[in-house]
Amino acid sequence: MKQIIIILSIIFSCSASFAQDKDIATASFKVEGNCNMCKKRIEDAAYIKGVKRADWNKDSHQLTLIYKPSKTSPDAVLKSVAHAGHSSEKTAASDADYNKLPECCHYKTNTCEH
């Protein structure tokens, strides 16, 4: 009897963990930036409640998100990134937020040397 309860507990735990994976989505967007400082700022800004992973590629300028649609949306993430000064294909950063970036991170001028 003890073994049956243990086996049922294991099966229930496994099925519960698989059920949680259904609430995970992936999205990718182009986000403007220049350097590793930009990468850190973009990823930090993208990591809001509901985001499991945010990875920005410096060469392709692609931000890849793994998130829970029940807790956040790509639009909310891109608004947070825009507020940090980085425009995306869907949300533009305000001039005030863009001007707060360090000079080397001004992606519109393309003057980054690192």
Instruction: Report if residue 55 sits inside a domain.
Output: yes
Residue with tokens 């800004």: 45
CATH number of the domain within which 33 lies? 3.30.70.100
Q: 8-56: per-residue pLDDT in tens?
A: 566 666 555 554 557 899 999 999 999 999 999 999 999 999 999 999 9
Pairwise CA distance, residues 67 & 69, whole Å: 6
Instruction: Report if residue 91 sits inside a domain.
Output: yes
Instruction: Report if residue 40 sits inside a domain.
Output: yes
Write the CB contacts of 81 (distance below 8 Å, at least 6 apart in sequence). Answer: 31, 42, 45, 46, 63, 88, 91
Instruction: Report if residue 75 sits inside a domain.
Output: yes
For residue 1, pLDDT over 80 is answered with: no
Instruction: Report if residue 86 sits inside a domain.
Output: yes
Instruction: Report if residue 12 sits inside a domain.
Output: no
CA atoms within 13 A on the CB side of 100: 11
Give the residue among 86, 84, 78, 81 at the shortest CA–CA distance from 34.
86
Q: 54-73: per-residue pLDDT in tens?
A: 999 999 999 999 999 999 99
Say how many domains are in the chain.
1
Instruction: Report if residue 82 sits inside a domain.
Output: yes
Instruction: Report if residue 6 sits inside a domain.
Output: no
Domain extent, residue 97, equals 24-105
Average pLDDT, the chain: 86
